[in-house]
Amino acid sequence: MKILMFGRGVISTLYGWALEKAGNEVDFYVRPGRAADFGSSVDVDIRDGRASSKGKPVQENWPITLREDLEPDHDYDLIIVSVNHDQLDSAVDFLQPRVGGATILIFNNVWADPAAAISRLPREQVTWGFPGGGGGFDVSTLHGGIVRSIFLGDIDGSSRTDRHRVVRELFTDAEFSISDIADFRSWLWFHFILDAGIMVGWLRMGSFDALVRSRPALKEVVRLIREMIPVLTAKGGTSRFGAAAARFIPASVIGFAMQKLLTGDNLFTFIMTQAQNTGHNNYKAQADYPRDVLADARRLGVAVPRLEANEPAFR
């Protein structure tokens, strides 16, 4: 398959690498003028969790093809968009006259209404997913990892199309396993709330390491997540299993489980540590999550006193 990764960010590079190794042709679209900054290869220093749960170490210099334009009659089969949630609008603006016959996979956080966010694209060409991996760039070296699982979801029937099936096959052929999510809009919003809670804790404690070492700080993250769930439902989402668990299981129990997961010798901890150590999550990237949830809470009249009390950390 001929694939265009939109941007040369962390997720697009990780999954572009995996998909090219699986036999696909992969190019990157970058903003005009950026190709020279990025150069013609990436130093990859990652763990590949498809073969083993701890991840097989990979270190290589990977030659890549960057392009600074995209003609409307291009012949890409698939365009994978993985940008920061506040960049999705501009990505859609760019792609709207240039979709051609390609399937678009939106593969990032979304806090807007997903259907509205892509309303300028041909709806039947759009599929939805979310990465399981992550990390960050240290200058031109990519540090992080991919886990075996990726998420593919349904928004308004999008998972019943042939295009969705082709995307599914692409990832399974590349040795990924798929977690299918029926109500992906609620899943995306719950995931965003999780990130918002973690980012408040991270900002307050000064680092991800400090956050995961502190049981009280993790407990506070759980309480924040719990408080934000009504924002998700006020937006029209439903309280899924994760949200229900966050609501009814005591914060101390979830805090304990989070600490076990986030300090353990596992690929997830490794990925988060790489994201932290490379400075991938700068202040803006962290503060955007709780700030956007708070803005919607205020707009929808949902009381979030705990989040408001933490506002100085992310204003």
Instruction: Report the residue from 20, 55, 64, 109 that binds ligand NDP according to the rule CB under 6 A.
Output: 109
Looking at beta carbons only, is 224 or 267 nearer to ligand NDP? Answer: 267
Looking at beta carbons only, is 7 or 134 nearer to ligand KPL? Answer: 134
Looking at beta carbons only, is 10 or 262 nearer to ligand NDP? Answer: 10
> Which 268-307 residues touch ligand KPL, going by CB under 6 A?
275, 280-281
Annotate 151-185 with b (16+ C-beta within 10 A) or e (fewer).
Answer: bbbbbeebbebebbeebbebbeebebebeebeebb
Is residue 109 within the footprint of ligand KPL (CB under 6 A)?
A: yes
Separation between Cα atoms, residue 147 and residue 128, nearest integer Å: 18
Residue 47: CB minimum distance to ligand KPL, A: 15
Residue 12: CB minimum distance to ligand NDP, A: 6
Instruction: Report the residue from 20, 48, 77, 195 that binds ligand KPL according to the rule CB under 6 A.
Output: 195
Looking at beta carbons only, is 17 or 202 nearer to ligand KPL? Answer: 202
**To which residue do tokens 């990157």 refer?**
28
Q: Are 300 and 231 in contact (CB under 8 A)?
A: yes
Q: Are 204 and 310 in contact (CB under 8 A)?
A: yes
Is residue 134 within the footprint of ligand KPL (CB under 6 A)?
A: yes
Candidates 5-13, 19-27, 53-61, 170-178; binding stretch for ligand NDP (CB under 6 A): 5-13
**To which residue do tokens 């997830």 refer?**
268
Number of residues engaging ligand KPL in binding (CB under 6 A): 6
Separation between Cα atoms, residue 293 and residue 193, nearest integer Å: 7
Q: Are 139 and 280 in contact (CB under 8 A)?
A: no
Partner that binds at residue 215, options ligand KPL, ligand NDP, none, CB closer than 5 to 8 Å by kind: none
At what angle are helices 267-277 and 251-263 packed, to 10 degrees? 80
- Strands 141-147 vs 41-49: parallel, antiparallel or unpaired: parallel
Residue 278: CB minimum distance to ligand KPL, A: 10
Is residue 12 within the footprint of ligand KPL (CB under 6 A)?
A: no
Is residue 62 within the footprint of ligand NDP (CB under 6 A)?
A: no
* Nearest-CB residue for ligand NDP: 9
Span between the terminal Cα atoms of the chain, in Å? 44
Distances (CA, A) of 305 to 14, 149, 294: 38, 36, 10
Q: Are 121 and 155 in contact (CB under 8 A)?
A: no
Could you list the residues that contact ligand NDP (CB under 6 A)?
7-12, 30-31, 82-85, 87, 90-91, 94, 108-109, 131, 134-135, 275, 280
Which residues are near ligand KPL by CB under 6 A?
A: 109, 134, 195, 275, 280-281
